[in-house]
Amino acid sequence: MQGTSINLLSLDRSAMENYFLDMGEKRFRAKQLLQWIYQRKVTRFPDMTDLSKHLRQTLQQNTNLDLPEIVSQQRSTDGTFKWLLRLKDGNCIETVYIPESERGTLCVSSQVGCSLNCTFCSTARQGFNRNLEVDEIIAQVWIANSVLESPKQESNESGSIEKKPENCFVSNVENQRRPVTNVVMMGMGEPLLNFDNVVSAMRLIMDDYSFGLSRRKVTLSTAGMIPAMDQLRQQCPVSLAVSLHAPDNALRDKLVPLNKKYPIGPLLDCCRRYVGENNRRRVTFEYVMLKDINDSPEQARMLARILRQVPAKVNLIPFNPFPQTRFERSEAETIDRFRDILLAKNIFTVTRTTRGDDIDAACGQLVGDFVDRTSRSKRMQQQTGVFS
Ligand code: SAH
């Protein structure tokens, strides 16, 4: 592909409409293109038969629909899939699919690595390289749907897969139920530090001419970037998850260093603004269960107290260990006791089942394979403190 070629996966509907208007075409071409790409999964312009030959040739010359390469696909014994995808600059990211009886959730990465430094997260130890482009974010959904819809994947066990055939046209799929019914921006990276690209990608995911997911089925998880959360509320109010992990600032400063900039009080105010008048919506608070760090009954009571004023749901995430971490997962009984205290205070609380841990696909275990542009990964290997 030429250097100037535009990847059409990087354009949401309004960007694509502008693209066609600029070239003297009608606005509705954008809808046609979106349907070919996302609903019929056609990535070869010659096969887009309701476009004129001339337009197909122009698109062939000036644009592309390049996808990341699937380096490997692993399937957990519990049915969870994890893909390692190689981007055009050689960096690799991870994407995870979690099937449940009523839904299929795709956990999507937003950055190559992460620039935040949450002490219990293995992505953080890898350091940071760059933000993902819109096409690199949306491609994760495209690839997951496409691989999982392909019948030959049914019996596939872990290991690498063959590349899909170039022309994967399937007719009449518009009304078909897709494997990916929910998207969570909870993979590698802090999505709100890549705001514009993440919002464009989420708009595409929700577009009726693309994957058509409703706002309720797209969740963005943040470590608590307050100004960007306000912007999200105004521009693209998807479901919100906030990584809280501690009931007081002293502890949260250590676990989620971003807390020094955006502490708990203002963060909860921002969450209240996010749900606004709409009582039917709640913010999900993620709380990783770390043995003897944040899991005491007193901390559960404190958590219940600070969440009293926010329409909240709490997700307790048993800590997923990784090499060289000093943290341990709380005992099952400790987690149950913590949950029961919250429930007794009328706070809707669930313990997240750990999925895909045999393939390191669980929360905080995504690491990809990339060049760290910070020196964090090296520094981390030298540190030995309790919170390293
Ligand atoms: N940066 C975003 C999204 C990525 S992390 C955020 O902070 O929300 C997705 C979730 O997994 C977050 O709640 C994160 O705190 C949690 N997590 C990170 N490492 C973990 C680990 N080792 N065990 C369990 N959960 C972890």
Residue range 290-325, pLDDT digits in tens: 999 999 999 999 999 999 989 999 999 999 998 889
| Ligand 1 centre distance from Cα of residue 363 (Å) | 6
Contact residues for 355 (Cβ-Cβ < 8 A; gap 6+) = 76, 78, 80, 98, 361, 362
Say which CATH topology domain 6-64 has: DNA polymerase; domain 1 (1.10.150)
Whole-number Cα distances in Å, 298 to 101, 110, 249, 290, 292: 36, 35, 15, 14, 12
Round to the nearest angstrom and report the end-to-end CA distance of the chain. Answer: 44
- Pocket of ligand 1 contains residue 223 by CB under 6 Å: yes
Per-residue pLDDT of the chain (388 residues; tens, 9 = 90+): 445 899 999 999 999 999 999 999 999 999 999 999 999 999 999 999 999 999 999 999 999 999 999 999 999 999 999 999 999 999 999 999 999 988 999 999 999 999 999 999 988 888 999 999 999 999 999 999 999 988 765 434 433 333 333 322 232 344 457 899 999 999 999 999 999 999 999 999 999 999 999 999 999 999 999 999 999 999 999 999 999 999 999 999 999 999 999 999 999 999 999 998 666 689 999 999 999 999 999 999 999 999 998 999 999 999 999 888 999 999 999 999 999 999 999 999 999 988 887 887 777 677 677 778 787 766 665 554 444 3
- Pocket of ligand 1 contains residue 314 by CB under 6 Å: no
Atom of ligand 1 nearest to the CA of 187: 4
Whole-number Cα distances in Å, 313 to 71, 202, 255, 351, 355: 36, 22, 21, 11, 20
CB 319 within 8 A of CB 290: yes
CATH 1.10.150.530-classified regions of the chain: 6-64
Q: What local confidence, expressed as pLDDT, does residue 164 receive?
A: 37
Q: What is the pLDDT of residues 74-114, one digit of tens each?
A: 999 999 999 999 999 999 999 999 999 889 999 999 999 99
Q: What is the pLDDT of residues 216-237, one digit of tens each?
A: 999 999 999 999 999 999 999 9
CATH superfamily of 69-383: Aldolase class I (3.20.20.70)
Annotated catalytic, 271?
no
| Ligand 1 centre distance from Cα of residue 121 (Å) | 6
| Ligand 1 centre distance from Cα of residue 56 (Å) | 43
CB 110 within 8 A of CB 88: no
User: Which residue has the CA at smallest separation from atom 21 of ligand 1?
Assistant: 364
Pocket test of ligand 1: the residue of 244, 285, 317 to mutate, having most ligand atoms within 8 Å of its CB, is 317
Annotated catalytic, 94?
yes
